[in-house]
Amino acid sequence: MTRISISKLHAYIGQEVTLAGWVHVRRDHGKLIFIDLRDATGIVQMVALPNHADAHAVASLVRSEWVVEVSGLVNKRPEKMVNADEENGDIEIELLGLTVLNEAQTPPFELTNDTSGIDENIRLKYRYLDLRTARMQRNIRTRSAFVSSCRHYLFDNDFVEVETPLLTESTPEGSRDFVVPSRLNAGHFYALPQSPQQYKQLLMTGGMEKYFQIARAVRDEDLRADRGFEHTQVDIEASFVSEEDIRSLVEDMIIKSAESAGKTIRQKPFPRMTYAEAMQTYGGDKFDMRTDEEKEAGILAFAWVVDFPMFEKTEEGTWTFTHNPFSMPKLEHLELLMKGERIDEILAQQYDLVCNGYECGGGSVRAHKPEILRATYKIMGYTDEEIEASVGHMLEAFSYGAPPHGGIALGVERMTMILTGETELREVQAFPMTRGGQTAVMNAPKPLTNKQLDELGIEVKKKK
Ligand code: ASP
């Protein structure tokens, strides 16, 4: 008999079915043994009666988290046993056969619906057990549904999904790189991408016109509640577009995915605020517009922040970019950029998407002509040689007829946090790192063997 998912059982009332899953809870009343069986789709109560002696004998042996296969009769519960508050509270499986597929040790913590109170190091060491809990299942599935909805939306709008390299060049994008030593070129290093920014612009230069990628971005930054070393972006770039084109595409996509997840959006179209207005009204550019009642009701308050300054002063008094060195200034400020004048007044064609106090996306229309990108780097104090070394390949690419283009990246974890109401990034990643940067379940980072170090031509300095 083929296996039926627990969520489908109502279609089989009065019939014999095969189920498989984990023993969630077992209550032994001697003659009657109740087992709540759990699979990925739900929980159902089963009862072992003494007249089915074999199944009853196995039922008296099994323990929580044992894996079992079941044959049983789907019965409607008698009226007085119906429990409207319980999942599948109107049915019950009468056990006819019970096979143990695997036994289980007692888990190191109780697999309750919500394990957020358990010590995080223990939860992450045994993440595969934590993932069995209702809240983690919901979080990971909400994330998958969000990504799936974006993917469908983008395919429906003629976007092409392209993967860009993971082993790439270290770039000055604002964060520290994770680097990977090269064996073939000992003493040389790749960097893991902080984002596919340059490659997606090269794809536009390559005539792809509409690109997206569910992309990993890796940044060696201080870990925070809403920031990890690794995160995933819905990364988008398109040619011949304005700021408005990208914003309305993304807004439509987000509304569809949030509403299909059952969420209510506070204001549509999303309100828009300039950076200056946001600073004046909220004292920051990641604001939360909700009232306490709206927070209670789980409402999503999206807004666009636009008109960011292109540059800000560093501690040393030089200029650096605020968001992205590849952004295009507002056209009315292009001349200032080209001349390097009144730099503090130059605004960029840059936009951020904020929701409920989080920045959940950001992007810009890009400087697609080499002389504009060069002017940006000049303002940041780069010499011609430094510009060549840093973005020479982009200047060269743009000199072969790069189309005007722009894009955005949306944070998959931040969006999932917003959709689930979670406040820690780690709760919406299957295998996040600990606060100390240690991988879940597996043991990294760890030292290399001497043989590995030799092959890579690396000598490790002893830490003092
Ligand atoms: N690459 C940018 C980031 O990762 C996003 C973008 O401008 O598309 O923040």
How close is the Cα of 209 to the center of ligand 1, in Å? 17
Split into its structural domains, the chain has a count of 2
| 438 belongs to a structural domain | no
**Are 208 and 261 found together in one domain?**
yes
**Are 86 and 137 found together in one domain?**
no
Cβ neighbourhood burial of 464 (10 Å; 0-12, 13-18, 19+): exposed
**Are 96 and 139 found together in one domain?**
no
193 close to ligand 1 (CB < 6 Angstrom) = no
Residue 172: the pLDDT is 61
429 close to ligand 1 (CB < 6 Angstrom) = no
| 23 belongs to a structural domain | yes
Q: Whose CA is nearest to atom 4 of ligand 1?
A: 195
> Mean pLDDT in each 10-residue stretch from start to end of the chain (464 residues)?
94 98 96 97 97 97 98 96 94 98 97 93 97 97 98 98 95 82 94 96 98 96 86 98 98 97 97 97 95 96 98 95 96 98 98 97 98 98 96 97 98 97 95 92 95 94 82
327 close to ligand 1 (CB < 6 Angstrom) = no
**Are 75 and 139 found together in one domain?**
no
| 321 belongs to a structural domain | no
* The token pair that represents 426 in the structure block: 């780690």
How close is the Cα of 63 to the center of ligand 1, in Å? 49
Q: What residues pair up with 46 in beta bridges, in sequence order?
A: 35, 93
72 close to ligand 1 (CB < 6 Angstrom) = no
Residue 191: the pLDDT is 95
Q: Hey, CA dihedral for 375, 376, 379, 384, is it positive or negative?
A: negative
**Residue 25's domain spans which residues?**
6-102
d(C-alpha 461, C-alpha 294), whole Å: 54
Last residue within a domain, chosen from 102, 136, 167: 102
pLDDT, tens only, 349-394: 999 999 999 999 999 999 999 999 999 999 999 999 999 999 999 9
How close is the Cα of 434 to the center of ligand 1, in Å? 25
| 448 belongs to a structural domain | no
How close is the Cα of 266 to the center of ligand 1, in Å? 26
| 336 belongs to a structural domain | no
218 close to ligand 1 (CB < 6 Angstrom) = no
**Are 223 and 361 found together in one domain?**
yes
**Are 240 and 276 found together in one domain?**
yes
* The token pair that represents 238 in the structure block: 């398109």
**Are 93 and 135 found together in one domain?**
no
Residue 173: the pLDDT is 57
How close is the Cα of 439 to the center of ligand 1, in Å? 26
d(C-alpha 286, C-alpha 271), whole Å: 14
74 close to ligand 1 (CB < 6 Angstrom) = no
How close is the Cα of 195 to the center of ligand 1, in Å? 7
**Are 418 and 297 found together in one domain?**
yes
How close is the Cα of 270 to the center of ligand 1, in Å? 20
Q: Please state the atom number of ligand 1 nearest to the C-alpha of residue 200.
A: 8
| 35 belongs to a structural domain | yes
How close is the Cα of 361 to the center of ligand 1, in Å? 8
d(C-alpha 251, C-alpha 274), whole Å: 17
Q: Whose CA is nearest to atom 7 of ligand 1?
A: 363
**Are 270 and 416 found together in one domain?**
yes
d(C-alpha 458, C-alpha 180), whole Å: 12
| 394 belongs to a structural domain | no
350 close to ligand 1 (CB < 6 Angstrom) = no
pTM for this predicted structure: 0.95
**Are 198 and 286 found together in one domain?**
yes
Residue 445: cis peptide before it, omega within 30 degrees of 0: yes
| 408 belongs to a structural domain | yes
Residue 194 belongs to domain with CATH number: 3.30.930.10
Alpha helices in 4-133 (DSSP H): 53-61, 120-125, 127-130
Judged by phi (left if over 0) then psi (alpha if -120 to 50, else beta), residue 317 lies in: left
171 close to ligand 1 (CB < 6 Angstrom) = no
**Are 175 and 79 found together in one domain?**
no
324 close to ligand 1 (CB < 6 Angstrom) = yes
**Are 71 and 143 found together in one domain?**
no
411 close to ligand 1 (CB < 6 Angstrom) = no
How close is the Cα of 364 to the center of ligand 1, in Å? 8
Of the candidates 388, 359, 393, the residue with the CA atom closest to the CA atom of residue 201: 393
pLDDT, tens only, 168-204: 997 765 789 999 999 999 999 999 999 999 999 999 9
Q: Please state the atom number of ligand 1 nearest to the C-alpha of residue 407.
A: 8
Of the candidates 143, 147, 142, 140, the residue with the CA atom closest to the CA atom of residue 161: 147
Residue 38 belongs to domain with CATH number: 2.40.50.140
